Structure 1
Amino acid sequence: MDRLPSASAFILKVAAIVGMTCNHVANVFGGALPGGAMVALYALGGLTFPIMAYLLCEGYRHTSSVLRYAERLGVFAAISQVPYSLLFGATGNVLITLLIGLGMLWALDRMRSRALCALAMLAGLVVSSLCDWGVIGPVMILLFWHLHDRPRGVALAMLVPLLAFGLPALSWVISETTPLSLGVLGYYTIGFGLATVLMLNYNGRRGRPMKWFFYVYYPAHLMVLWALTQIV
C-alpha cells in the first residue's frame, strides 16, 4: 500500500479548524440536527485537540521567542473567553489549556530545581482542571513532547486519551445507543484515528502561513455561533 501524502502544518491546522467548527456546531445545535449529522459532526470534532496539542509542541520546538508565543496565546485566550463562556459556561477555553501546556514545557526545559518544576507541573494540572480538556489536555501535550523522537511516538501518545475516553464512550454506546453516545464514541475513535494518521504523516514543513488566521478564527467563530443562538 502506498504511503499517504505528507501533511504540512497548514494541512494540520485546516483539519483542526474544520474539526473544531464541527464539534462546536454539534455541541451548540446538536439537539436540532438529524441524528446522522450529529454523529458525523462529533466524529470530525475529534480531530481538533490532538492536532492543536501536537502543533503546540512543534511551535515550542521552533519558536524564536517563547515569550511572544505565550503572549499571542494569552491575548487571544482572553478575547475568546467571553464568547466561549456565553456558549459553554464558566470554564476556560482551549487556548488557556494550550497556554498552560506551553508553560509546562518551558518549566521542564528551563527549571533547574526538580522541586520547583514539580510544583509548576502540579499547578498547571490544577488550573487546567478548570479548562476545556481538563487535566488530560496538558498530559497529552507532555506525551507528544516526550515521545516525539520515538518510532510511532504520536500513536503511543494517543493511546492514553483513547483508552481514557474511548472505553467509557464504548460502554455508553453499549448501554444506551443514541446519536449523542454514537457521536461521542466517533469523537474518540474516528476523530482521534484521523488525527493520528495526519500527525504521523506530518512532514515538518510549515506550508502556507496561517498563524494569525487561526488565532482570529477561534474567537470569531465562537461569536458567530453565539449570535446564531440568539436568532434561531
Structure 2
Amino acid sequence: MERKGLSGSALKIIAIVTMLIDHIAATVIIRILKFGGYNDGLYQLYRVMRNIGRIAFPIFCFLLVEGFMHTRDREKYALRLGCFAAVSEIPFDLAFNGKVLEVGYQNVFFTLLLGLLTMMAYDAVMNQSRWSVWKRTALSTIAILAGMFAAEFLSTDYGALGVLCIMVFYLFRRSRIQQVVFGCLAFVWWEWAAVFAFVPIFYYNGKRGFGMKYFFYAFYPVHLLILYLIVYKMGYGSVPAI
C-alpha cells in the first residue's frame, strides 16, 4: 500500500514558493520602503512575507539530508552544490547588495555545501570501527563544530546555525518525530516562523515525486537575477536591500 503524504518534489515546490515570497520582500519591497517612502501597510506586508519565507530553509535542510542519504555519489553531490554556489553568488550579490561581488555575505548554497561536507566528515569518523566510542564521539563533535565555524567565518546565509540545523536532521534521521521535535527546538528560538515548515516535513512520504532534480539549482540564481533586474528598472539597483 502506497504511503500517503507529500513527496520530495512537493516539498521542493513549497520551499521554492515560500523562498520566492521571502526574496521579493527582501529585495523589492524593502527598497521601496527605504528609498521610496515608508508606508505602514507595505511594511506589514513585508513582515508577513518574510515570516512566510522562514518556511523554506528547514525544508531545504531536510531535503539535503534526504539527498545525502540516497545519493550514489556524495562527492559528485558536493561538487554540484559547489558549482551552483559559485554560479549563484553574483545574482545573490546583485539582488541583495547592488554589487557584482560582495564578499561579506554568501548565498545559501554555501551553507548547504558546508552542511553536506560536515555530514561527510561526521560519517567518515563514525565509520572508523576500530576507534573507541569516546574517540569517535569527540572527533565527530569537532567535525560538526568545524562545519559551523566555517559557515560563520565565511558569513554564509544562516551561518553556523544553518549547519547545526542540517546536522540535527541528520543525527535524528532514523525518526521523523525526533527530526520534527528537535528541528523545531533548533529553529524556534531564532526563527519562530520556521516551525511551520515542520508540518509538511512531518508528512513527507519518502517518495521522490516527479523529476525536478535541477529545477531548484537553476531557479535560485535565475530568480535572484530577475529580482535584481526589477529593482534596477525601478532605479534601486545600485543600492543594497538591507
Q: Taking structure 1 as the reference length, what is the TM-score of the superposition? A: 0.81
Q: 2:121 is matched with which residue?
A: 107
Residue identity in the other structure for 1:108: Y
Structure 1 residues 49-60: aligned runs within 5 Å: 49-60=57-68
Q: Distance in 1 between matches of 2:57 and 2:195?
A: 12
Structure 1 residues 137-216: aligned runs within 5 Å: 137-150=162-175, 152-166=177-191, 188-189=192-193, 192-216=194-218
Corresponding residue to 1:124 among 147, 166, 174: 147
Task: Give the drift of 1:103.
Answer: 0.5
Q: Distance in 1 between matches of 2:196 and 2:224?
A: 24
For the aligned residue pairs, the C-alpha RMSD in angstroms reads: 1.9
Q: Which runs of 5+ in 1 are unaligned?
A: 167-187
Corresponding residue to 1:84 among 89, 92, 98: 92
Larger-Rg structure: 2
Q: Distance in 2 between matches of 1:74 and 1:162?
A: 25
Q: Count matched residues.
A: 205
State yes or no: 1:21 paired with 2:20: yes
Cα offsets for 1:125-145 (capped at 9, x unmatched)? 122111000111011011111
Cα offsets for 1:40-72 (capped at 9, x unmatched)? 311220111000000000000000000111111
State yes or no: 1:134 paired with 2:159: yes
State yes or no: 1:45 paired with 2:53: yes
Q: Distance in 1 between matches of 2:223 and 2:45?
A: 20
Q: Distance in 2 between matches of 1:199 and 1:49?
A: 12
Which deviates more, 110-119 or 43-52? 110-119
Percent identical across equivalent pairs? 34
Q: Distance in 1 between matches of 2:172 and 2:145?
A: 21
Higher helix share: 1
Q: 1:96 is matched with which residue?
A: 110
Q: Which runs of 5+ in 2 are unaligned?
A: 34-41, 98-103, 129-134, 235-242
Which deviates more, 72-81 or 149-158? 149-158
Task: Answer yes or no: is the 8 Å Cα contact 2:62–2:169 preserved in 1.
Answer: yes
Q: 1:61 is matched with which residue?
A: 69
Task: Give the drift of 1:87.
Answer: 2.7
Moved segments of 4+, more than 3 Å: 112-120
Task: Answer yes or no: is the 8 Å Cα contact 1:154–1:199 preserved in 2.
Answer: no
Task: Answer yes or no: is the 8 Å Cα contact 1:147–1:156 preserved in 2.
Answer: no
Q: 1:217 is matched with which residue?
A: 219
Q: Quick one: structure 1 residues 119 and 143, their matched pair in 2 at CA, closer, same or farther if it must change by over 3 Å?
A: closer
Q: 1:184 is matched with which residue?
A: none
Q: 1:230 is matched with which residue?
A: 232
Q: Distance in 1 between matches of 2:55 and 2:167?
A: 18
> Aligned to 1:152, what secondary structure does the other structure show?
helix
Task: Give the drift of 1:95.
Answer: 0.6
